[in-house]
Amino acid sequence: MSDAPDAHHVRPPDVSDATVEALGKLSEALETVEEARGHLYAFHRRCGTADLALGEAVDLLREAGHADVADSIETDLVGRNILEGRWSFQVVEEYDAGYYAAFAEHERAARDRLAAGRRHLFEAEMKEDRRTHGRRHHEATPGTSADSQ
């Protein structure tokens, strides 16, 4: 078996070091946006969980004989928009359809135009430079164990 990277992670012959570096930085930026997106989804989930717990608190306050406090919280806070006119799902949808979609499209278009659509060339080349060729757990791809060569 070969101990070389798969063809999808080898730069095309006409792609320069500077281009691989630039596409690597663009990929890094997209990964950061992906991470921010994950935090936004976590924010969305936490807002929903808080609103449901708030509803339970209102019910418990009412059962404990504090209807006036329960009514005030329920009227002002339960189901309230987190931003003007928006619940958190609407914030997520706007982010996904706007900034996130544009960012992902530009990253993909740059890879398509400059590197035949290949992803993670910078990291793939770093892996080739840093791994110990022929050593177990340093294989280029799955199924290329040093033991099976």
Domain boundaries, given as residue ranges, for the chain: 16-133
* Residue spans of alpha helices (H) in the chain: 17-63, 67-76, 88-95, 101-115, 121-130
Handedness of CA 129, 131, 132, 133 (dihedral sign): negative
| Closest C-alpha to 120, from 29, 23, 6, 34 | 23
Global pTM value: 0.83
List the chain pLDDT tens, one digit each, 149 residues.
678 888 889 999 999 999 999 999 999 999 999 999 999 999 999 999 999 999 999 999 999 999 999 999 999 999 999 999 999 999 999 999 999 999 999 999 999 999 999 999 999 999 999 999 999 999 989 876 655 44
CA dist 145 and 3 (Å) reads: 8
Query: What whole-number distance in Å separates Cα of residue 37 and Cα of residue 29?
Result: 12
